[in-house]
Amino acid sequence: MASRLIDWYERNYRDLPWRNTRDPYRIWLSEIILQQTRVQQGLPYYQRFVNAYPTIYALANAPQQEVLRLWQGLGYYSRARNLHACASVVVNDHDGQFPNTFEMLQKLPGIGKYTAAAIASFAFGQAVPVVDGNVYRVLARLFGETTDIGSPAAFRVFFRLARQLLDPGRPHLFNQAIMEFGALHCTPQKPLCLYCPLQQHCWAFAHEQQQALPVKEKKTKVRTRNLHYVVATSPEGKLLLRQRPAGDIWQGLFDFYLQETLDLPAPWQAAEQLEDPFVQALLLLQPQYSVSPAYRHQLTHQRLQVRFFNFRLNHQMLGSLVLPAGMAWYSAEEIHNLPKPVLIQNYLKEAGF
Ligand code: SF4
């Protein structure tokens, strides 16, 4: 089966930049960028990072804010923070060289079993299987494996199956092959079973169970949040922003003063209804404000419903306003260079800022 997979791969693989290298730095970059991201979306980010930071030293020495700005739009910002932290650890503790084993790689920030296996096999030729979502699907169908792929046991079960199949002489090729086969051939909705080189060995094909496998039972609940952003503009056209703290979405990115409301009979409140000292102080100084249309933004486990209240302030109002901790005024140019959630970026664009 391994030989058939590799034959298939050599005839069908997509020529992607990280496939033409054994450089652990570039392989690691591509793996972190491509987690939970489609190849077409991740490709320009990979190129942007390689151009901006051709070596791990360049990445380790870059300011975190710059790294987050480059990452903007990819989501899951903890990956970008870990990317930066990992570069520092490799430079400071490992002399700029990635450790070359599956076990050692997992000790680095942001590197789990999957990424460690990818670097160990693609860069260093270690015979360890790489098990991603595509590989789960291929293995579940080939072997009729019904373990829920969202369960804690899944990785161990599928890792063992993959190790049985792995070609120990060509781990790098085998891993690329099975991942690509899942991405292009044994796809979730319409696997190309009629032209499949593994058809004779495939449990799902023999039992017509392709659609039932892999088993994924857990559905994470999506929570709805109502966000009210206060956009204060100074007479010089500066905007009031702050850097988001740890413990919530978008850590380290910049957004406006925010009030969140829960369990409302209606999702929207007027600014006057927000029981917040800063908003109330603002309204005393400037009772006139405009409200943006509703923005809706979907994250993996959260549905955001967002409105922006726009307050234009004159010099006199500004003199009497006490800013909440962490808030500061930023010019258009400064804002352009700040890392921001895509939602804020879209709003600024549509508001003509
Ligand atoms: Fe996937 Fe169909 Fe091939 Fe089985 S026969 S491995 S389900 S494409």
pLDDT for the residue 76: 84
**Which pLDDT band, with edges at 50, 70 and 90, does 81 fall under?**
very high
The answer, yes or no, to whether any atom of ligand 1 lies below 6 A from the CB of 185, is: yes
Q: Which pLDDT tens digit goes with each residue over 139-197?
A: 999 999 999 998 889 999 999 999 999 999 999 999 999 999 999 999 999 999 999 99
Task: Tell me the C-alpha distance between 63 and 87, whole Å.
Answer: 12
Ligand 1 pocket test: pick from 9, 137, 138 the residue with the most ligand atoms within 8 Å of its Cβ.
Answer: 138
The finding on whether 191 has its CB within 6 A of some atom of ligand 1 is yes
Q: Say what the pLDDT of residue 256 is.
A: 97
From ligand 1's centre to the CA of 78, what distance in Å?
35
Question: What is the tens place of the pLDDT at every residue in 225-248?
Answer: 889 999 999 999 999 999 999 888
Q: What is the pLDDT of residues 5-44, one digit of tens each?
A: 999 999 999 999 888 899 999 999 999 999 878 889 999 9
- Helix-helix angle 64-71:39-52, to 10 degrees: 150
Work out the burial of residue 121: count CB atoms within 10 Å of its CB; fewer than 13 is exposed, 13-18 middle, 19 or more buried.
buried
- The verdict on the CB of residue 205 being under 6 Å from ligand 1 is yes
Of 132, 135, 137, the residue nearest 213 (C-alpha): 137
Instruction: Give the tens place of pLDDT for each residue, 84-120.
Output: 999 999 999 999 999 999 999 999 999 999 999 999 9
Which ligand 1 atom minimizes the distance to the CA of 199? 5
Could you identify the atom of ligand 1 that is nearest to the CA of residue 210? Answer: 7
Q: Cα–Cα distances in Å, from 5 out to 169, 178, 290?
A: 14, 6, 60
| Higher-scoring residue by pLDDT: 75, 234 | 234
Whether the predicted pLDDT of 261 surpasses 80: no
Q: Is 199 in the pocket of ligand 1 (CB under 6 A)?
A: yes
Give the position of tokens 């991405």: 183
Rounded to the nearest angstrom, the distance between the alpha carbon of 184 and the centre of ligand 1 is 11
> Quick check: helix, strand or coil at residue 175?
helix
Atom of ligand 1 nearest to the CA of 202: 4
Check pLDDT > 60 for residue 282.
Answer: yes
Predicted pLDDT of residue 35:
87
Mutate to test the pocket of ligand 1, among 178, 205, 209 (most ligand atoms within 8 A of CB): 205
Ligand 1 atom closest to 197 (CA): 3
Output the CA 149–ligand 1 centroid distance in Å.
18
Report pLDDT for 301: 85
Strand 223-233 with 302-312, pairing:
parallel
The residue whose CA is least distant from atom 2 of ligand 1 is 193
